[in-house]
């Protein structure tokens, strides 16, 4: 099959950037989208040009580094699929495909299709961990965890931190990412001691970089792991509760 690619090229955050057109032929429908870009880059290199910069690692929909906006959709036209798992059979022979980086103020372009996702790291560093000393690990079955809580925590932990939720949101909000990272700890017994400190720190850090959620729901549709917006409701509930509980704790310490 043959496609025409309009690929975003940008040397850095200060460069205005531009689209570059490439025709790519002799493609197999069974190729992944990233394999198609590999083929294109090989041909660009042979011709003496500069290959297109994009990120990938596992190519199994686990690491979250491969995110691209394809024809205006984060990760492309197939739902619940990361860019690396998208195959060329999803397109038709002769299609024109537009490829861009995540479009969000918080994710500045490093080069071409690579963006700086370090604001996500700042949110995790603010509270996405359990720091309470618990001694050596106990038997897994010693701590009773209701099945509903365990299942919900696993659903939240499926987030790969790719940033598609931010790229899809009209406000460039990161509530779905933050909600997932808060929930997978806050739902479990081990996360309870720091529950309200955690949610306050992570939400406050998030708001330094990202816009506010206004319930468009585009984040859930774009998420390759189908993280539910229900977690945002849980995040809002815990954040409101944290303001009350943390105020009480501060009063007790005086």
Residue-range domain boundaries for the chain: 3-111, 117-252
Q: Provide the token pair at 243.
A: 């303001």
pTM reported for the whole predicted model: 0.92
Q: Give pLDDT, residue 139.
A: 72
Query: H helices of the chain, where?
Result: 33-46, 118-127, 147-157, 164-168, 175-186, 195-209, 218-222, 230-252
Mean pLDDT (whole number) for 209-222 = 96
CATH level 3 topology of 117-252? Fumarate Reductase Iron-sulfur Protein; Chain B, domain 2 (1.10.1060)
> What are 171-207's pLDDT values in tens digits?
999 999 999 999 999 999 989 999 999 999 999 999 9
165 pLDDT band, cuts 50/70/90, is very high
Going by pLDDT thresholds of 50, 70 and 90, the confidence category of residue 249 is low
Which pLDDT score, from 0 to 100, does residue 167 have? Answer: 97
- Would you say 223 and 169 are in contact if contact means Cβ atoms under 8 Å apart? no
Confidence of residue 90 (pLDDT cuts 50, 70, 90): very high
| pLDDT at position 132 | 73
SS3 115: strand
Whether pLDDT at 137 is above 60? yes
* DSSP one-letter string for 45-85: HHTT-PPPP---SSSSSSS-----EETTEET-SSTT--GGG
* Closest of 91, 109, 76, 93 to residue 26, by C-alpha: 93
Integer Cα distance of 111 and 52 in angstroms: 9
What rounded mean pLDDT belongs to the chain? 94
Q: pLDDT, tens digit, for every residue of 13-46?
A: 999 999 999 999 999 999 999 999 999 999 999 9
- DSSP structure class, residue 104: B
Q: Which of the four pLDDT bands, split at 50, 70 and 90, describes residue 135?
A: low
End-to-end Cα distance, the chain:
71
For the segment 207-236, the average pLDDT, to the nearest whole number, is 97
Least confident span in 75-79, 134-138, 234-238, 248-252: 248-252
Q: Say yes or no to pLDDT of 253 above 70.
A: no
pLDDT at 65: 96
- Give the mean model confidence (pLDDT) for residues 106-126: 97
Closest CA to 3 of 94, 115, 131: 94
Decide which of 3.40.30.10, 3.90.230.10, 2.60.120.10, 3.10.20.30 is the CATH code for 3-111: 3.10.20.30
């Amino acid at each position: 099959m043959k496609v025409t690619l309009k690929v975003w090229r940008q040397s850095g955050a200060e460069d205005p950037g531009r689209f570059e057109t490439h025709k790519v032929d002799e493609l197999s429908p069974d190729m992944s989208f990233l394999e198609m870009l590999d083929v294109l880059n090989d041909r660009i290199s042979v011709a003496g040009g500069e290959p297109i910069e994009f990120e990938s690692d596992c190519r199994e929909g686990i690491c979250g580094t491969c995110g691209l906006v394809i024809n205006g959709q984060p990760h492309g036209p197939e739902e619940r699929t990361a860019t690396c798992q998208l195959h060329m059979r999803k397109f038709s022979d002769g299609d024109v495909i537009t490829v861009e980086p995540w479009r969000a103020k918080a994710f500045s372009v490093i080069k071409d299709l690579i963006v700086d996702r370090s604001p996500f790291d700042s949110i995790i560093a603010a509270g996405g961990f359990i720091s309470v000393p618990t001694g050596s690990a106990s038997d897994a079955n010693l701590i009773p965890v209701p099945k509903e809580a365990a299942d919900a925590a696993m659903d939240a932990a499926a987030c790969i931190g790719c940033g598609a939720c931010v790229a899809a949101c009209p406000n460039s909000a990161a509530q779905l990412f933050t909600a997932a990272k808060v929930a997978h700890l806050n739902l479990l017994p081990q996360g309870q001691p720091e529950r309200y400190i955690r949610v306050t720190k992570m939400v406050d850090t998030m708001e330094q970089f990202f816009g506010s959620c206004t319930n468009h729901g585009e984040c859930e549709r774009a998420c390759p792991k189908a993280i539910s917006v229900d977690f945002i409701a849980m995040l809002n509930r815990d954040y409101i509760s944290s303001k009350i509980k943390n105020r009480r704790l501060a009063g007790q310490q005086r």
